[in-house]
Structure 1
Amino acid sequence: MIGYEEALALLLRDVVPLDTESVAAFDGAGRVLAADVRSPGFLPRFDNAAMDGFALALGDATGEAGTEWPVLGSTAAGDAAGQPAGPARQGAWEIMTGAVMPDGLDSVVPVERVDASGGTDGTPPTRIRLREPVRTGANVRRRGEDIAEGARVLTKCERLGPAQIMLLAALGIERVPLVRRPRVALIATGRELAEAGEADEGAWIHDSNTPFLRLRLHAAGAEVVARERVGDDPVGFTAVLDRVLAQRPDLVISTGAVSKGRFDFVPGSLRARGADVRFHGVAIRPGKPLLCARLREGPLHVGLPGNPASCAVGLRFFVEPLLRAMLGLPRERPARLPLAAPVHARANLRTHLHAMLEGDGEGRLAVHPLPRQESFRLAPFLSSQAWLVLPEAGDGDTVIKPGQAVDVYPPGHLESLAWQRESA
């Protein structure tokens, strides 16, 4: 077996970011930008009123309480700019929120801060009186005050979320350059596997790894382009591999048949078809039998163990770093949080544990390892909020005491850590 860092280096050895494609901004939600995005114009595009009221030309002066102004016109959002000039600036203009500021007018007094007279429901008032002073520039949104023309608004490797897409829409940017999503093919091995509704008499088990992987891969930014199931059959496995490769995946993931038993045929089958097996066996817990190979057709192949926790660890700490490299993202960095309970670090094994996060009344976070984490168990997944990772201990097992800082990762590389407040 080799260590985690050596295995990860071999896995990522020749991986480069994938191609760029132009995508409609709204359709790119959750995806990664391939280049910086700069603003094609100003935001706001023009000076406009921040609220309903009356536009004034104050210049260097202050509109004093009690002063009166004739109302010379009205403008609403969507009306063209222009209008008052010369003597017309001596009056006020009724204006609505978002309307272009008429030429030469520089301030807005809110409608609730004036006494208005004249006019009817269908026409503006004829005169207003200020109830309180109004400073120059009040309640006006200036052109480019939010974003200047040519400013970098989004950065390469940034993900598009609701806020980013809202900004792109406001700037009128219809399409953006995104990194193509990694294409992944899934192969589940084992004659004992059955899907819901398929099982009959016999020692079968339901395939839980495939639906888990499909959902987690989608959350990790990948696209599952093929999924197959095959029994403990090297010939059938080779045929299935040929079928999924026809879908042009960037990565093939298999589950099961990578250990040392008589029916663990994946390593031998890959070698027989000319694959370059980079490693088989990593000093981690759970998931030691994990395998990585470069297929002669080009894609990488990651063979994950079949036990659920082992499969999940292989996905999170090998496949997801691989996807990050394909997406052009930098290596993920863990959070460092104090332990809330003692844990055992295994000699010469990097250990991965389901964990919960809790915050006390002062906002201090701690990480709690969950109990009963054998690799076959599914129940810990239901409570898990994070992965707690312990480095390899020295020559013997080591107890890490409460209060010591440890590495903590969110459930997925594109997700944030979530926590719950300590119960009263």
Structure 2
Amino acid sequence: MIDYAQAIDRLLAYAPRLSTETCALADASQRILADAVVSPLALPSFDHAAMDGYALAANDTVPAGSEHVVQGSQAAGDVAVASSGAAWEIMTGARLPDGLDAVVAVERTQLLSSHGDGSPERIRLLDDIVCGKNVRYTGSDIAKGAPALDAGTRIEPSHIMLLAALGVAELTVVRRPRVAIVCTGKELQSDLRAPLAAERIYNSNGPYLAASLTACGAHVLSCETVDDTAVNYAAALKRAIAAGADLVVSTGAVSMGRYDFVPDTLRQFDADVMFHKVAIRPGKPQLAAKLREGPLVMALPGTPMAVAVGLRFFVAPVLRAMSGQAAEPVFHALLDAPQQPKAGLRHFLRAKLGLDAQGRLHADVSVQQQPFRIGPFAQADGWVILPEQSGEVPLGGIVQVASLHPGNGLPVHAAHQGSSP
């Protein structure tokens, strides 16, 4: 048995980097950038007005009380014009006429006279105006050639806005990891519409893994349920290999019982077993292997919370590594109740996260941590992680926390607490 850090190091060392592909911006949401994006243009691409008002040639300062002839009007989208030095009526987003360098807000002027069509003819300033006032300069957001997004970035809607503004229509992204799911156990019933048969249980691990892997950006090739026989598990592995899976995630049949055939079956595939049993709770019998001619295999115990821990703290880091993403940031919180973890094991505890009146992040660990309990998992929104030698952690002790599901950040009400309180 090895500790968690050793297990992750071995697992990530085997994680292959995925190939890349071209993706239209419209289809890029939640994809992972393979290459950094360098800004192809300056943003803004021209000097323009930050508000409705009048553009002036301030040079240094134009004093309050000064009067100005209004030469013309410039709206957003109008072509560039040259000014003779007189003021121009200007709208938000409109390009500054050549030779003008400041904008006075319309409400900080007095209209002295108008043309017959209602357009302004002459104005008086109510405030001093300095050069650059209310002007958005070319490249003040992003300069041409400057870094815009780093490789390994997961494309969010905010990134879509930036890339669209830069005129980026296509991106080089990492191919989605292809994952096959195999759930073992003759007791499992996959048809949720059918009445539950005697001595059977509905298969909850398969739908959970499929949903979680999809949220991580994976392409789920299949989600099979097979009985407790090595031959059927081997057949499912062969189908996953034939489908081009990068990773197989299986549940059950991985411990030490008479029906726990996964380790021996993997050896028949000439698999290189990285580890089998990790010093964690729940989910100690985690197994990871690399098939000689095929994908990585992550074999998880079948108990629901062992599956959740395996997905969150083993599979998710592998998918990040495959996609070229950096490791997740580390978050901390204050414990709302003391914990007495068993020495020598890393504990993953379901918890509710929240902020106190001072804005400090707290973790309220569920008292029901038995690995078969799904109810507390559905009520939680985070994990508390207690290292192998943490010892007793008192009330108010600082602990590491993680989001409940891979691919998500901490809950909205806790998201800005990114470091130790």
TM-score, normalised by the number of residues in structure 2: 0.92
2:71 corresponds to: 72
1:373 alignment counterpart: 369
Q: Residue deviations 1:118-148, cap 9 Å, x none?
A: 225x552222222333223222111112211
In 2: Cα distance, 1:354 partner to 1:328 partner = 28
Cα deviation for residue 261 of structure 1 reads 1.8
Q: Distance in 2 between matches of 1:187 and 1:24?
A: 32
The equivalent position to 1:132 in structure 2, one of 127, 130, 135, is: 127
Kept in 2: contact 1:332–1:413 (CA 8 A):
no
C-alpha distance in 1, partners of 2:16/2:227? 34
Distance in 1 (CA, whole Å) between partners of 2:127 and 2:166 is 36
Q: 1:130-209 alignment to 2 at 5 Å? A: 130-194=125-189, 195-209=191-205
**Across the two proteins, how many residue pairs are aligned to each other?**
412
| 1:393 positional shift | 4.1
Question: C-alpha distance in 2, partners of 1:109/1:187?
Answer: 67
Report the Cα offset of residue 252 of structure 1: 0.4
Greater Cα offset, 304-313 or 340-349: 340-349
Q: CA deviation at 1:200?
A: 4.7
1:257 has 2:253 as partner: yes
User: Distance in 1 between the 2:55 and 2:13 partners?
Assistant: 64
* Map of 1:92 onto structure 2: 87
Given candidates 397, 400, 405, the residue that maps to 2:398 is: 405
Give the Cα–Cα distance (whole angstroms) in 1 for the partners of residues 378 and 221 of structure 2: 27
1:15-34 mapped onto 2 (5 Å cutoff): 15-34=15-34
- Cα distance in 2 for partners of 1:201, 1:32 equals 43
Matching of residues 291-310 of structure 1 within 5 Å: 291-310=287-306
Task: Give matches, 1:107-122, under 5 Å.
Answer: 107-116=102-111, 117-120=113-116, 122=117
1:211-250 alignment, distance < 5 Å: 211-250=207-246
Q: 2:268 aligns with which of 260, 263, 272?
A: 272
Deviations 1:16-35 (A, max 9, x none): 42222222234222232222
Q: Check whether the contact 1:220–1:412 (CA below 8 A) recurs between aligned residues.
A: no
| 1:99–1:199 CA distance, 2 compared to 1 (3 A) | same
CA contact (8 A) 1:354 1:381 kept: yes
Q: CA RMSD in A?
A: 2.0
Instruction: Please identify, of 195-204 and 212-221, the stretch whose mean Cα deviation from structure 2 is larger.
Output: 195-204
Query: 1:324 is matched with which residue?
Result: 320
Asked if 1:353 is matched to 2:352, the reply is: no
- Structure 2: stretches of 5+ with no match in the other structure: 415-421
Q: 1:58 to 1:246 in 2, by over 3 A?
A: same
CA distance in 2, matches of 1:387, 1:200: 32
Deviates more, 1:43-52 or 1:228-237: 228-237
- Cα deviation per residue 1:244-299 (whole Å; 9 max; x = unaligned)? 22221110011111122222222222222322233222221111121111123220
Which secondary structure does the structure 2 equivalent of 1:293 belong to?
A: strand
Contact 2:82 2:99 in 1 (8 A): no
- 2:419 paired residue number: none
Q: 1:41-76 CA deviation, whole Å, 9 max, x = no partner?
A: 11111111111122222323x333332222222221
Structure 1 SS opposite 2:14 = coil
Distance 1:103-1:270 versus aligned 2 partners, 3 A rule: same
User: Counterpart of 1:83 in structure 2: which amino acid?
Assistant: A
Which of 75, 90, 98 matches 1:103?
Answer: 98
Compared with structure 1, are the counterparts of its residues 193 and 127 closer, same or farther at alpha carbon in structure 2 (3 Å cutoff)? Answer: same
Cα distance in 2, alignment partners of residues 229 and 366 from structure 1: 39
Query: Counterpart of 2:311?
Result: 315
**In structure 2, how many angstroms separate the alpha carbons of the residues matched to 1:201 and 1:145?**
66
| Alpha-carbon distance in 2 for matches of 1:234, 1:58 | 83
Structure 1 residue 155: Cα displacement: 1.5
Q: What is the TM-score of this pair, normalised by structure 1?
A: 0.91
Query: 1:419 Cα deviation (Å)?
Result: 6.9
How far apart, in 2, do the equivalents of 1:79 and 1:420 lie?
Answer: 44
Q: Distance in 2 between matches of 1:282 and 1:321?
A: 16
User: Is the contact between residue 300 and residue 306 of structure 2 (CA under 8 Å) also seen in structure 1?
Assistant: yes
Show structure 1 runs of 5+ residues with no match: none
